Amino acid sequence: MRLIAFLFAFIIAVPAYAQGIQQTKGSFEDKFRQLDEVLPDPNVYRNASGAPGHRYWQQEADYKIVADLDEANRRLSAKGTVTYTNNSPDTLPWIWMQLDQNIYKKDSIAEMTRTFGAPGRGEAARMSLGQLRRMQDMADKPYGYDINAVTLSNGRALDYTIVGTMMRIDLATPLRPGQSVSFNIDWAFNIIEVDSLGGRSGYEHFPDDPREGGNDIFLFAQWFPRLVAYSDYEGWHNKEFLGSGEFTLEFGNYDVTMNVPNDHIISSTGVLANASSVLTGTQRQRLAQARGADAPMFIVTPDEAEANESSNPTGTKTWRYTAQNVRDFAWATSRKFAWDAQGHKQPGAKNETVLAMSFYPKEGGELWQKYSTAAVVHTMKVYSRFSFDYPYPTAQSVNGPVGGMEYPMITFNGPRTNLNEDGTRTYSLSEKVFLVGVVIHEIGHIYFPMTVNTDERQWTWMDEGINSFLDSVAGYEWDPNMPWTRSLPRDLIPYMTSQNQVPIMTQSDSVLNLGPNAYGKPSAAYHILRDTIIGRERFDFAMREYARRWKFKRPTPADFFRTMEEASGTDLDWFWRGWFYTTDHVDISLDTIHRLRMDTKNPDIDLSRRREERADKPEKVGVRLNREQGLPIWVLENPGVTDFYDENDQFTVTPKDTKSYESFLEGLDDWERRVFDRAVEEDKNYYVLNFSNKGGLVMPIILGLTFADGTSERMYIPAEIWRRNSRRVSKLLVFDKDKELASVEVDPELETADADVSNNSYPRKIIDSRVEAFKRPAPSSRTGRDLMAEVLVVEEEETESESEGSE
């Protein structure tokens, strides 16, 4: 009863979950409550182990498109035939399509709900020239799709209804399970300028190129009406495109013909089907050589690209690309592109040689020559270890106005060189880090979500989290000394302690602080799972299993959580619950340590120890002062008053004590006597460590133990220690007699994102603040330190003296 009373005294009241299971008495919070009340029920489509169920299905959408680029007017017109196959068990009376370009219509939800940073009281409102440019652009030109016709193959018009970025096509007859329907769409749209309107595709203008009127790079994505996904867990996914939540798509086969000016080079999803019609003999020969090359080879050299920049087209050229089993299709075209390629070998894979390629203008320069295609190859080597062989025949990196965006087989990446006054081009280290990092990240997306086809509109974190985790793995394997960012547990502490955040399990368009929430925090979580909680072997196995199970299929969060648990053999419900469903952070405090020593019950030993313990205590201050003052002590000055008690203290062993000891020994059973004798003989050191959980997240307790003999060891206490009390726990540690504990440190290698290290050590250490650590004369391992104070003082003094001089 006393123990229970003690616990209640220290538990802070917390609200019970508003779920099916509720704690309606007391304030106990079960951080280990299983997730089955939160996750959707397993079924025949998605089973309880997180794998596709035995009746898993998904739809298929195949496209045949002919697109015409009107370069002068920056307009794309296209006609396409869509063949939709209903693999679901449901009969579908209509089909929904995604009209993503409609996000740029003046009355779109995205446009109408753009907010403005209101000025403070008495302050002027602020607006950038960029904002004004955007407003003027939107006012001057109509954007969004023009849907000219939707017809069946026999020419019969189909009724359609446009709802923002979605379009419902009413079928002539309901589409039954197993049936397919083909229909034609005729559409066009004005291409947006990315530097003006932002977004994931569009054109970039280069007014300073030598060609009259300059040049453009065109990036085409979300450029055709795409099927809305129809799934077993949501039916039609009719959440509109608002800008943050990306795409939820169906796999299919594509046959796309592009008519562009005949001096353009195209990079595209898929494989070039008519190389002999669009490439020169030299270019085809170079491309063939590149397949076996160990380093990137030019198909179009930078000099040739610069020459193209000055040319004028004499007509159009028709390029044709085909792609099998892709969930999207994107392409880029410009006369500015240099083009390099290198074959990446995957012995035994479906695509034994993957062509890694990069397309970039002169503005990409040496930065792109050295690092883009190399990073593409490196990505495939690392990511395939965690998943499967790269699943497509090409992997491309294209430089344009979009900072970083991914599509099947093709990615758009933004970093560039700077033009110096002397005409040379250079780049900063951070631009280099960004290029390598973004290429790894975007090529990595070809695995997640282009192949493991997660629902981006609903869950940004599902692809971005795994991809940020893997891009940091690949980054550190590229060069551990590069200043990578954003993905390790220690990087996330300021975000995880901050207010105004939402749980990871938040719909993509409602996420606050998308970067740390959907990229950084899940990545940090996976690093902790891999390196601390599960271990690399089992984590990597589970991650591979997740990727293998859901390759070319559509997993949900539950499928991921269940697969990682089942394949690793680890109950992680507590981890998913804490990291993905709450906004708690990690802060485990080591409050106190108590040292214990086992009594022998032998009065000759135990009472002697008590005497020593008493002697070890400091002398009473008053007695010491009396002695120093020379005050007489009565019993010393009057020896006649002494008796037995002056010769025997309270720890003197009496016959009664000895008899009691003998009775104790006689009362023990044989096994009790053996255990007792051994414990007395070993006389081990016992320590009780008292921890409190100040951050809320339950996590393993990792201890760095240092002993008096100078040795040290690491101890891992699983998170389950918190299962009966998530606020405070005590742990008994036992060491041999000659191993005396000197100090203990929680999370000594900073691997759990512990927010406050000042309560991690016992005995307590004085922990420098960030500023104090920065000011210390000898900086630690942190790089790039620049103590500016003295320099700035000198600069200020110089400025002041100059001012004085001028007066």
449 prior amide bond cis, ω within 30: yes
Of the residues 136, 708, 775, 800, which one makes contact with other proteins according to CB under 8 A: 775
Of the residues 40, 93, 142, 483, which one makes contact with other proteins according to CB under 8 A: 483
Sequence-separated (6 or more) residues with CB below 8 Å from residue 401: 194, 195, 202, 203, 204, 217, 219, 414
The single residue listed with the structure tokens 């190129």 is: 209
Does position 80 bind other proteins by CB under 8 A?
Answer: no
In the window 694-713, what residues touch other proteins (CB under 8 A)? 694-695
Q: Are 98 and 227 in contact (CB under 8 A)?
A: yes
Does position 765 bind other proteins by CB under 8 A?
Answer: no
404-407 sheet: strands from edge to edge? 297-300, 338-345, 353-360, 394-399, 410-413, 404-407
Does position 10 bind other proteins by CB under 8 A?
Answer: no
CA–CA gap between residue 525 and residue 584 (Å, rounded)? 13
360 forms bridges with which residues in the sheet? 338
Report which residue type is found at 163.
Answer: V
Q: How far is the CB of 589 from other proteins (least distance, A)?
A: 9
Does position 788 bind other proteins by CB under 8 A?
Answer: yes
Of the residues 26, 40, 89, 130, which one makes contact with other proteins according to CB under 8 A: 130
Does position 430 bind other proteins by CB under 8 A?
Answer: yes
Tell me which stretch binds other proteins (CB under 8 A): 1-9, 168-176, 449-457, 788-796. 788-796
Does position 794 bind other proteins by CB under 8 A?
Answer: no
Does position 364 bind other proteins by CB under 8 A?
Answer: no
Tell me which stretch binds other proteins (CB under 8 A): 261-269, 277-285, 496-504, 528-536. 496-504
Does position 587 bind other proteins by CB under 8 A?
Answer: yes
Q: Specify the residue, 321 or 427, whose C-beta has the smaller distance to other proteins.
A: 427
Q: How far is the CB of 177 from other proteins (least distance, A)?
A: 43
Q: Between vectors from CA 410 to CA 405 and to CA 413, what angle results, nearest 5°?
A: 40
Q: Specify the residue, 120 or 618, whose C-beta has the smaller distance to other proteins.
A: 120
Tell me which stretch binds other proteins (CB under 8 A): 138-146, 287-295, 339-347, 498-506. 498-506
271 forms bridges with which residues in the sheet? 322
Residue whose C-alpha is closest to residue 334's, from 260, 256, 395: 260
Of the residues 32, 241, 484, 579, which one makes contact with other proteins according to CB under 8 A: 484
Report which residue type is found at 651.
Answer: F
Q: Are 641 and 635 in contact (CB under 8 A)?
A: yes
DSSP symbols for 680-746: HHH--EEEEEEEEESSB----EEEEEEETTS-EEEEEE-GGGGSS-SSEEEEEEEE-TT--EEEEEE
Does position 776 bind other proteins by CB under 8 A?
Answer: no
Phi and psi at 271, nearest 5°, equal: -120, 135
Q: Specify the residue, 196 or 396, whose C-beta has the smaller distance to other proteins.
A: 196
Does position 419 bind other proteins by CB under 8 A?
Answer: yes
Of the residues 261, 270, 364, 415, which one makes contact with other proteins according to CB under 8 A: 415
Does position 421 bind other proteins by CB under 8 A?
Answer: yes
Of the residues 14, 127, 149, 502, which one makes contact with other proteins according to CB under 8 A: 127
CA–CA gap between residue 134 and residue 371 (Å, rounded)? 33
Question: Which two three-digit tokens encode residue 45?
Answer: 């489509």
160-163 sheet: strands from edge to edge? 160-163, 166-175, 92-98, 226-227
Does position 322 bind other proteins by CB under 8 A?
Answer: no
Does position 429 bind other proteins by CB under 8 A?
Answer: yes
Q: How far is the CB of 785 from other proteins (least distance, A)?
A: 4
In the window 503-542, what residues touch other proteins (CB under 8 A)? 513, 515-516
Does position 420 bind other proteins by CB under 8 A?
Answer: yes
Of the residues 167, 755, 760, 762, which one makes contact with other proteins according to CB under 8 A: 755
Does position 756 bind other proteins by CB under 8 A?
Answer: yes
Does position 74 bind other proteins by CB under 8 A?
Answer: no
Residue whose C-alpha is closest to residue 787's, from 799, 778, 770, 774: 774
**CA of residue 715 relative to chain centroid, distance:** 27
Does position 119 bind other proteins by CB under 8 A?
Answer: yes
Report which residue type is found at 115.
Answer: T
Does position 777 bind other proteins by CB under 8 A?
Answer: no
